[in-house]
Amino acid sequence: MERKKTVIVGGGAAGLVAAVLLGRELHGDVLLLERLPRVGKKLLATGNGTCNITNIHAAKARYHGDSALAAAVLEKFSPADALRFYESIGVVCETRPDGKCYPLCEQAAAVLDCLRMAAAECGAEMRCEQTVKAIVPQKGGLQVKTDKGDIFAETVLVCTGGAAAPSLGGSTDGYALLTALGHRRTPLFPAIVQLRTDTALVRAMKGVRVDAAVTVTTEKAQRREVGEVLFTDYGLSGPPVLQVSRLAADWERQKRGACTATLDLFPTLSEKDVAALLEKRRAFATRTMEDFFTGLLQKRVGQTVVRACGLSLTQPIGSLRDADVKRLAATVKGWTFAVLGTQGFGGAQVTAGGIDTADFDRATLQSKKTPRLFAAGEMLNVDGDCGGFNLQFAASSAATAARGILMLLKGETV
């Protein structure tokens, strides 16, 4: 049987970072197994192909699930550490005013290439199209059973990713490797995902982008974000929608009460100021309501607001009553849509929920149930906000696990 110091199961961001860090110390005794034809497929899609590699504002408040675990691994491998690591493999990054960090080349493919080259340079072997079927505890290590033969490893790191984005390799298969060993899996639901809403009005605005605040409200919680909202034929998308979507996805999973998404099309103005602004529009008395918002809002959006208020596009602006102006102001400041659900794992960027982290040592990410077994990345019950936070957790958890593996192999204690 083939023998290795370490086998890494999963060739996503966490697995690749771990392969480099472990390879540098173990000099060729590291094997990474990936079931897809190539590693890093999901990484190629991050930041729409530009790779938002981390965020300097990564902290406990930007994570969900076991946010305390996120904080613990961030303390061991911070965004600054991540940037130094990426520079060490050839990826030079820039930090933007909002804290997001991107490679100067703005190419996710280049980040993946540098990770692959760095792993190869330090002797870490990568084998694709090899699926791990089970992990079996053995004396002094673990037997990794695959569709192409078994491997004995002194340590195993499982980082197979989550269920999100199945077109990019997302799957629930990896969870079974750990649940078979007694680990628990918390409920899974999509995060950083588009929202499906009542489409009676939004379809008329399909493809239009507006700067707005979006607030998702359930009977248990509420979250508000500001940014560019995109209207689609199924509902709402865009960065602020993705940020608040976790709340809607959790509601979708539980189906308790109602869920709404409310848009504020003038987030920098109060409703009183908006009412005063719209009152002035009555001076254009001979124009029709079709052009009431022309010069204030994107035309299709303005016309849809008029319709949402029960007004005719053909009626003259001069026919507006005081109550009509108040209703228009209230709508553009709080345009509420019933949320029907999300676009599911197929549209999601990340998985909320995962393997229960209570059964892992926070300092090393070694399993408390199966010695010499480690886990990292999205498969754990940790998910971050949109904006580089999930790639940072992948790197931080991989670095923590790699450090734990090296300490174990050297006989050191935390």
CB atoms within 10 A of CB 215: 19
E strands along 66-199, which residues?
A: 93-95, 100-103, 125-128, 132-138, 141-146, 149-158, 189-191, 195-197
Token pair for 196: 């499906």
What gap in Å lies between CA 267 and CA 299, rounded to an integer? Answer: 18
CB count, 10 Å around CB of 338? 13
Largest pairwise CA distance in the chain: 87
Q: Are 393 and 73 in contact (CB under 8 A)?
A: yes
Q: With a cut of 70, list the residues of the chain below it in pLDDT.
A: 414
Q: What is each CA distance from 170 to 40, 71, 131, 190, 345, in whole angstroms?
A: 11, 25, 14, 11, 9
Tokens (6 digits) for 238: 């865009």
Neighbours of 201 (CB within 10 A): 16
The distance from CA 42 to its chain's CA centroid, rounded to whole angstroms, is: 11
Look at phi and psi of residue 153 and say left if phi exceeds 0, alpha if psi is from -120 to 50, else beta: beta
**Is beta strand 2-9 parallel, antiparallel or unpaired with respect to 30-34?**
parallel
Show the beta-strand stretches assigned E in 36-85.
Answer: 54-55, 63-65
Pairwise CA distance, residues 131 & 95, whole Å: 37
pLDDT attached to residue 26:
94
| Rounded Cα–Cα distance for residues 349 and 228 (Å) | 18
Phi, psi of 246 (to 5 degrees): -60, -40
pLDDT score, position 387: 95
Distance between CA atoms of 328 and 43, rounded to whole angstroms? 44
Distance CA 183, CA 301 (A): 50
Which amino acid, 18? A
Question: Residue type at 257?
Answer: G
pLDDT in tens, 179-231: 999 999 999 999 999 999 999 999 999 999 999 999 999 998 999 999 999 99
Q: What is the pTM of this model?
A: 0.94
Whole-number Å distance between alpha carbons of 68 and 59: 10
The pLDDT of residue 255 is 84
State residue 222's pLDDT score.
96
Contact 392, 74 (CB under 8 A): yes
Q: Which residues contact 192 (CB under 8 A, 6 or more apart)?
A: 164, 242, 243, 245, 246, 348, 349, 350, 385, 386, 390
10: left (phi over 0), alpha (psi -120 to 50) or beta: left
Classify burial at 362, counting beta carbons within 10 Å of its beta carbon; exposed 0-12, middle 13-18, buried 19 or more.
Answer: middle
**pLDDT of res. 251:** 96
Closest to 165 in 3D by CA, of 350, 315, 26 = 350
Neighbour count for residue 131 (Cβ, 10 Å): 14
pLDDT of residue 414: 61
What is the sign, positive or negative, of the torsion defined by CA atoms of 204, 207, 210, 212? positive
Nearest to 377 by CA among 6, 8, 12, 7: 12
pLDDT tens digit sequence for 87-102: 999 999 999 999 999 9
Quote the CA–CA distance of 407 and 277 in Å, as a whole number: 65
